[in-house]
Homo-oligomer: A and B are copies of this chain.
């Protein structure tokens, strides 16, 4: 509807996202993206210095489009600690599908590209903060599982809610998104709550 006149840069970001979304993370080449945007491969390099930067920019673009911040704030409005935990699982767990494609691509280059690793870690730290906040709310009302320190509980929740775990359950095991969310809520509660 809003066909203002999309900048090439935005077209590139949209297309990259779309290409990554449907399947292959690292299999998407610069040439593929250029072709899909209908510009020359070299024009890509006029907008982004390298593949890693393009992927990172796509990630930021995604966050912007989805307004992740606003969504995250929803879980902060919860009253009880357990409620907050559940809402947090809901919010983040339902955001993962949106970023799965790009995450896969970033994870794949993380080992060889320092900048990509930094960008990925940065985003994952944000998720970890969400986990920490939920854990802290549990702790505050004294309902945190006594055999876990606050930090360990955060680590555990963070791992439970990792993109990798989501991938394994949804893709390898064929779980539906609903099942994933429901089971994660319960598992998180069982693991963390007294």
Contacts and interface: CB of A to CB of B under 8 A. Distances in A.
Interface string A161-179: 0101100110001010001
A150 interface: no
Contacts of A169: 155-156, 159
Contact of A162 (B147, B148, B168): B168
A179 B112 CA distance: 29
A64 B137 CA distance: 48
Given A26-B111, A108-B108, A148-B183, A159 B168 contact: yes
A158 interface: yes
Interface stretch (A1-9, A49-57, A186-194): A186-194
A152 interface: yes
A88 to B, nearest CB: 18
A25 B112 CA distance: 10
Interface string A18-48: 0000001111000000000000000000000
Given A168-B162, A183-B152, A26 B173 contact: no
Contacts of A27: 111-112
A146 to B, nearest CB: 11
